[in-house]
Chains A and B, each alone.
Chain A
């Protein structure tokens, strides 16, 4: 059972008037993504209000909150997937290693190779398992020959814990796998391009408990190498898997901090109400 260690001591909360205290400098693992003043509009409707958060690297951060509170929207800001929605407008700065990814001069294609994404419903390409994993490295030119590509595919599938199950049927369609295997295939596909951050939008909500347990094990192994951000509806999962947790409510980031503090000693009453099940 992994221990939810967290070296950073910061625990931010939003005051009753809606302002957020600026995150204090952390002393643990360094910050990978630093978001400030994020406001997101869908046309006239505002979905996120002044969100600011620090996401540490080599750790799992989970976003929790009731439906429609904006956690998936914020997640998608981090790899600019909101660009595909024409009426969506994002203001503010999201800095990764010093560069603002929201800046229009950054090419989202390059960004998405550094920030991978796993979606709620497993969506492997309707191609072979090999092709699924090899597509990303191929278009980014990460392999200079078939042997290198084969090596990348194998290592990605191993890291995703799928190699033993599919090594003998790499050319069969990815859509023929079970739900849990498909999600691991999607994770392998995301890892194959060598990202620094992996975003997961409710990755286990479409899976059965056994598959969910396997994915959570995988996430725990991956956090040694990657910065992982996971949106989840299940507070139990957040408690099991993440080191830091952020609670969103009605488009605002209410509270964020070490996971065990959020769950045992939340500072905001809204967080308390959500965790104890009064709403959401």
Chain B
């Protein structure tokens, strides 16, 4: 063994060298840590800004829906103009227009051009109101009645600033004369501004000012009920069987792989299945909440099964052993002990699966829910529409006023989804148990 050279540096020299080396690297290390934090914050800022832009656009586009301009008109019901034997055929809109003309203090010409122009500003709903009033009480003929409600969509848009006087007259839907009349009505106090409760109490309509989301909301709720009643019990039972009772062999492996894959299948494929199987073969009524619920239940089923299985797996085996040790059968052990303990996870998974189903559009379009449904469905087999499809229909509509209503409907849909997710979180927190 050769002699090692005697080190020339002392212990304190070596300590000083180490300290110097560490300190020289310290700056770069701190700098890279700061940079990393900056990248993280930048990523969050970008994601948040996307969210803010998206929500901001929707809210700014849709907020104006909730303001509505209404008018109240006193219409004399001239018996000469009303044929009692053919009430439906009477031109009530002209009567309303004449009443408004009179209010403005103008007289019509022989061709009735002025009352035609005024008619464009009044909602056809006024005419229906008159018809219904007379039908209910025919003694009203000869008296003066009051109709009230929103102005026609174009007039409403003018007051909201969407239709401007500054743009050339040929490019507008309202003539200068009509704008003058509207200004006169507004300044005389005949036109009032208020919150658009009608948006929530009315269903779809060809007239934008009469259109609301009630039909779509009720349709969505009914469809969700069907989905929940089908997907949750079947999914939970299937998961319990697969997890607790099924023998572990190749067959169950194949089933498990298939279920996991089904959860990733594009939703429009379920629409095709609905079209082929439910409508054509089984004859389920087209565009009904029942049909929509069936299709979406198929879609939600794999998610419910997967969520239930992982909740069951999370229950410690000591609970099962304790139950079996006391002489419970396997079924009793599962249903009396394991399943109740896994309920929070099952509920959370189910609610999230249902919230997902709520926003599905593609499969519902395939099964014919694009139809125009002007009212609330009265049964699960009646024609209905749902919120996402309503958004789709309104987006494709030609009237300009539907533009703001599309955004408002999206807001309603988002509120629904936030509520359901909040319920899922509350359920999970409240029922979380520690063994």
Q: Which residues of A contact B (CB under 8 A)?
A: 79, 81, 84, 86, 109-110, 112-113, 116-117, 119, 121, 123-126, 135-136, 139-140, 175, 186, 189-190, 193
Q: Which residues of B contact A189 (CB under 8 A)?
A: 326
Beta-carbon contact of B433 and A126 below 8 Å:
yes
A-B contact pairs, 17 of them (CB 8 A): A81-B321, A81-B325, A86-B248, A110-B327, A112-B324, A113-B327, A124-B322, A126-B341, A135-B323, A139-B327, A139-B328, A139-B332, A140-B327, A186-B322, A190-B326, A193-B326, A193-B327
**Contacts A86-B248, A121-B318, A123-B319; A135 near B324 (Cβ below 8 A):** no
Q: In the complex, what distance in Å separates the CA atom of A139 from the CA atom of B324? A: 12
| Interface residue? B428 (CB, 8 A) | no
Beta-carbon contact of A109 and B327 below 8 Å:
yes
Interface string of B307-336 (1 = CB under 8 A from A): 000000000001111111111110010001
Q: In the complex, what distance in Å separates the CA atom of A109 from the CA atom of B329? A: 6
Q: Which residues of B contact A86 (CB under 8 A)?
A: 247-248
Beta-carbon contact of A125 and B328 below 8 Å:
no
From A112, A113, A117, A125, B319 is in contact (CB under 8 Å) with A125
Q: For residue B328, which residue of chain A has the nearest CB?
A: A139
Beta-carbon contact of A175 and B435 below 8 Å:
yes
From B318, B326, B336, A116 is in contact (CB under 8 Å) with B326
Q: Which residues of A contact B435 (CB under 8 A)?
A: 126, 175
| Interface residue? B337 (CB, 8 A) | yes
Q: In the complex, what distance in Å separates the CA atom of A193 from the CA atom of B322? A: 13
Beta-carbon contact of B336 and A135 below 8 Å:
yes
**A179 vs chain B, min Cβ distance (A):** 14
Q: In the complex, what distance in Å separates the CA atom of A112 from the CA atom of B333? A: 13
Q: Which residues of A contact B323 (CB under 8 A)?
A: 125, 135
Q: For residue A133, which residue of chain B has the nearest CB?
A: B326
Beta-carbon contact of A84 and B319 below 8 Å:
no
Q: In the complex, what distance in Å separates the CA atom of A183 from the CA atom of B288? A: 57
Q: Which residues of A contact B322 (CB under 8 A)?
A: 119, 123-125, 186
**Contacts A86-B248, A139-B332; A190 near B325 (Cβ below 8 A):** yes
Q: Which of B403-435 contact A (CB under 8 A)?
A: 433-435
Q: In the complex, what distance in Å separates the CA atom of A123 from the CA atom of B324? A: 12
Q: In the complex, what distance in Å separates the CA atom of A136 from the CA atom of B337? A: 13
| B interface size (C-beta, 8 A) | 21
Q: For residue B316, which residue of chain A has the nearest CB?
A: A123
Beta-carbon contact of B328 and A109 below 8 Å:
yes
Q: In the complex, what distance in Å separates the CA atom of A79 from the CA atom of B323? A: 13
Q: For residue A84, which residue of chain B has the nearest CB?
A: B324
**A87 vs chain B, min Cβ distance (A):** 10
Q: Which residues of A contact B325 (CB under 8 A)?
A: 79, 81, 112, 116-117, 119, 190
Q: In the complex, what distance in Å separates the CA atom of A123 from the CA atom of B329? A: 18
Beta-carbon contact of B341 and A136 below 8 Å:
no
Q: In the complex, what distance in Å separates the CA atom of A79 from the CA atom of B328? A: 13
Q: Which residues of B contact A110 (CB under 8 A)?
A: 327
Q: In the complex, what distance in Å separates the CA atom of A136 from the CA atom of B322? A: 11
Q: For residue A80, which residue of chain B has the nearest CB?
A: B324
Q: In the complex, what distance in Å separates the CA atom of A15 from the CA atom of B2? A: 61
Interface string of B240-270 (1 = CB under 8 A from A): 0000000110000000000000000000000
Beta-carbon contact of B326 and A123 below 8 Å:
no
Q: In the complex, what distance in Å separates the CA atom of A84 from the CA atom of B328? A: 13
Q: Which residues of B contact A140 (CB under 8 A)?
A: 327
Beta-carbon contact of B324 and A81 below 8 Å:
yes
Q: Which residues of B contact A126 (CB under 8 A)?
A: 319, 341, 433, 435
Given A86-B247, A135-B336, 6 further pairs, Cβ under 8 A: A84-B320, A117-B325, A123-B321, A135-B328, A175-B435, A190-B326
Q: In the complex, what distance in Å separates the CA atom of A117 from the CA atom of B325? A: 6
Q: For residue A110, which residue of chain B has the nearest CB?
A: B327
Q: For residue B247, which residue of chain A has the nearest CB?
A: A86
Q: In the complex, what distance in Å separates the CA atom of A190 from the CA atom of B328? A: 12
Q: In the complex, what distance in Å separates the CA atom of A140 from the CA atom of B332? A: 11
Q: In the complex, what distance in Å separates the CA atom of A113 from the CA atom of B248? A: 28
**B271 vs chain A, min Cβ distance (A):** 41
Interface string of B334-354 (1 = CB under 8 A from A): 001100010000000000000
Q: Which residues of A contact B324 (CB under 8 A)?
A: 81, 84, 112
Q: Which residues of A contact B320 (CB under 8 A)?
A: 84
**Contacts A125-B337, A126-B435, A175-B435; A135 near B326 (Cβ below 8 A):** yes
Q: Which has the most chain A C-beta neighbours within 10 Å: B325, B327, B332?
A: B327
Beta-carbon contact of B327 and A136 below 8 Å:
yes
Q: For residue B332, which residue of chain A has the nearest CB?
A: A139
Beta-carbon contact of B327 and A119 below 8 Å:
no
Q: Which of B204-235 contact A (CB under 8 A)?
A: none
**B254 vs chain A, min Cβ distance (A):** 18
Q: In the complex, what distance in Å separates the CA atom of A160 from the CA atom of B90? A: 91
